[in-house]
Chains A and B, each alone.
Chain A
Amino acid sequence: MGKPDETWEPWVREATDPKRAPAKPEALARLRVLDLSRANFGGLYCSSILAEFGAEVIRIEPPDGDPARRFTPFGLLHHGTGLPYLVEGRNKFHVTLNLEAEEGRELFRTLARRADVVIESFRPGQMDGWGIGYRQLSALDPRLIYCALATYGQFGPKAGCGKPDYDVTNQALSGIVWVTGEMETPGDPKPWEVPTKVGSWLGWHVGGAWAAFAILLALHHRRRSGRGQLIDVSGAEGVMRMINYNVAWYHTCRELMVRVGNLDQGIYPYGFIRVKDGYIFIAGFSDVNFQAITTLMGRPDLPKDPRFDSFLKRAKLENAMALKEEMEQWSVRHTAEEILQMVLAYRGAGVVGMGRANLPSETLGEAHWWERGIFQVVDDPVYGKVLIQGQPVKMTETPPRVKWVCRPVGADNEFIYLKYLGLGRERLQALRVRGVL
């Protein structure tokens, strides 16, 4: 490979530093989005992405707030709102509206005519049954882009099954749970040796990111055709797309991906091993990279060992397990940091991929992430100083950004309803009394 250009790093740091974002334009500044998602972090994450790129996102909650505000670890609330919701409230306006009431739906129709995008996560057919689904709204405004999130989607044999959309079911249906977790001890399976879900809400987040992707595709198409469209996103299918070669392998070879704990089904070394102070991930599965690992270990015999002398032999499960033990005999004598320094100092052939299995607090303690702005402490007018994860995307021209953290239930009713519907305080109060807001 060629020699990297050393002038690149300082140039690109300057050009994409998130600290410079506020002075730059926003990619979606003209986009208006209504997010109706309910008890669903897929929809919330989708609208977060659009809001980070500058869209005006209006969250429409029921009068007593989105139940997602109460999905929070151990019931913990901060100024009345759950932690996960605070993370996804960024840059959004929050209004209440009772869609169960006809008067509420009429207000929604008017709002939707002024919007570019509607996001919702009700049971499929619910909005349509209320007369405010894509069929009805697109008749009022053919340019509308309408994105619906649901585990089983909007069509297909199970679409009408009526089950709610949850992270854990999305994960289970995708195949990711099947291939994650510890292998069973033969004859003596332990309670933790079971298919295991990803700890965070992957089944929601991935669906939300696909929804944002699709909305931008539809926006591009609308620019050319003048027409909006209906978008159907399933979080289960969203994660399924990321299960490596699961379906292709089954179709071509009738082989199944299975769970192999902290090893890998197809390559080794490529997994977690124990070190003096915890665990690390270490990779070096090609011959030259395996050579690099064994050099660091001071074990030049291993690449010649008949169990480990080829890429394929190392990948075989029983050999990989034996190799893991050999590596751990070395690794448990060193801390993760010591091994990282060895990897960085290594100048021989091949490269070793390595990282410490960080506790969240350890990741928070590393300067890299703070410099790059993935962690930010935002001083929010309502919620005070709050640490949230920022946006992973760095861009030279239109960097995404966080402007505020969240808003209480209905906090923006006056502003938004005045701006779009001309409703002043008195009429809002009357609507509130009638249970419409």
Chain B
Amino acid sequence: MTEDYFAWTDRLFDLGQIFVKPEALEGIRVVEVATLIMGPSNADYLAEFGAEVIKVELPGTGDTMRYVIPDGRPWKNANPAFMPQNRSKHHIALDIRRPEGQELFRQLAVKSDFLVENLRAGTMEGWGLGWRQLSALNPRLIYMADSGFGQWGPFSQGRASYDGVAQVVSGMAWITGFEGRPPTKVGVWIGDYFGALLAAVAGLAALEHRAETGRGQFIDLAQSEGLIRILDWTWLYHHLTSRDRPRAGNRDQAIAPSDIFRTRDGFVAVAAGQDEEFRGLARAMGRPELADDPRFKTLEARLAPEANEELCRIIGAWAAGRTRAEIDELGARFGFAAAPVMNAADIYEDEHYRRRGAVFHFEDPLYGPMADHGPVPKLSETPGRIKWGCKPVGWHNEYVFRRVLGLTSAELADLEAKGIIGRWGTRPGAKPPDDWQGEGKVF
């Protein structure tokens, strides 16, 4: 008899076997010159699948994100908001504004497969470290430039960008939130994280091309355009109707029913777009006749705005008397989508997420037992993993400069004396814990 599907998948994806298996990007080196969220996330996604990421920071201060500390309370002198986009990286501090630093950087780039940066367009070129200069030295290099508005075009020059800018200029904020209320800011840096993912996808496509031709290339990714791409029917709807897509709160205007409801103990999302799913929901509600009601019988009927509104009102009245868990369980029993609105504690404690490594636990040599968002796609042969967490500025100087560039102790000491390379300054966010005794270093 064939093994049960889920017994088989449990075995195939067993978290305990991750470190027995190879990594997809083993042998791929990434050099990162990036701050805040977008560029660092782009490199992190590659690190999760085995790339060796060398994160280049300025001596002393390092990445600005080290200091954007929630509530201003560092943890063991580290910043929890710096952690999620800086796992399993090698942190070096190198002053690439100075010629000697630039020369070392060029040597690194020659030995790298990917370069990730998210500086102002043209900054790297100004230092002699841009695509045109580096590709002449290393034609196999794949260069990912992450930005708000792109490397060229009217908005690319002289305009600072943040995630929030991408949210508003893309129209995402406009279509989020309730009618009659202001446009709504998505509560996370979605433009950064998503733009970083698209850049990583493009980078891997470029790797395929390189495998065939031996040639690298330059990639320009604007996070605002990443968000424009995923606003589904917004643009075509305007093209065909000359209307702007309205805000509709939690109700979906293209799938009915699909909404979020208040229950006795929190909020629950419910969706049943296909007619047989809706039939299941109606039965779960003890209202099977709704599935035969001409207003609701077919998806086409339910998508009429009045019908959609009325149906969601009926479901809302039903949900108000139930708990999140009851509705979740009914979804499984009757075959419609139902899920609680989860917060960090719900997610952290959830057994399913833990068993899948979506909440990933690992032991860091400096910080001890840690947990964070794990690699998203689960690959049976080359699973992603987190090996260690973020590290203080310049933590891996000796390891990287000695192993990759072959510098000697005397040369390192000389460069450090001149401030070309360096390590952490005195601010929390950049330095090791106060009780650090030198443990956890490679060299």
Contact = CB atoms under 8 A, between A and B. Distances in A.
Pick from B152, B159, B274 the residue with the most CB of A within 10 Å. Answer: B152
Nearest to B28: A220
A4 B122 contact: yes
A196 B250 contact: yes
Contacts of A13: 151-153
A156 B174 contact: no
Pick from A153, A176, A248 the residue with the most CB of B within 10 Å. Answer: A248
Given A216-B208, A230-B380, A372-B222, A182 B184 contact: yes
A217 interface: yes
A128 B218 CA distance: 41
A169 B338 contact: yes
B211 A223 contact: yes
Given A198-B176, A312-B72, A389-B228, A240 B373 contact: yes
B206 A397 contact: yes
A12 B164 contact: no
Contacts of B244: 359-361
Contacts of A194: 250, 260, 262, 267
A100 to B, nearest CB: 14
Interface in B1-50: 2, 5-6, 8-10, 12-13, 22, 24-25, 45, 49
A74 B303 contact: yes
Interface in A126-147: 128-129, 133, 135
A242 B194 contact: yes
A23 interface: no
Contacts of B182: 262, 272, 274, 279, 357
Given A172-B267, A389-B235, A249 B344 contact: yes
A163 to B, nearest CB: 5
Nearest to B267: A195
Interface stretch (A76-84, A294-302, A410-418, A429-437): A76-84
Contact of A75 (B72, B225, B304): B304
Contacts of A361: 238, 244
A243 B268 contact: no
A247 B343 CA distance: 9
Contacts of A94: none
B352 interface: yes
Interface in A161-204: 161-169, 171-182, 191-192, 194-202
Contacts of A395: 202, 205-206, 217-220
Nearest to A249: B80
Contacts of B248: 199
A212 interface: yes
A266 B381 CA distance: 39
A199 B175 contact: yes
A107 interface: no
B239 A387 contact: yes
Contacts of A162: 332, 335
Interface stretch (B251-259, B392-400, B415-423): B251-259
B9 to A, nearest CB: 4
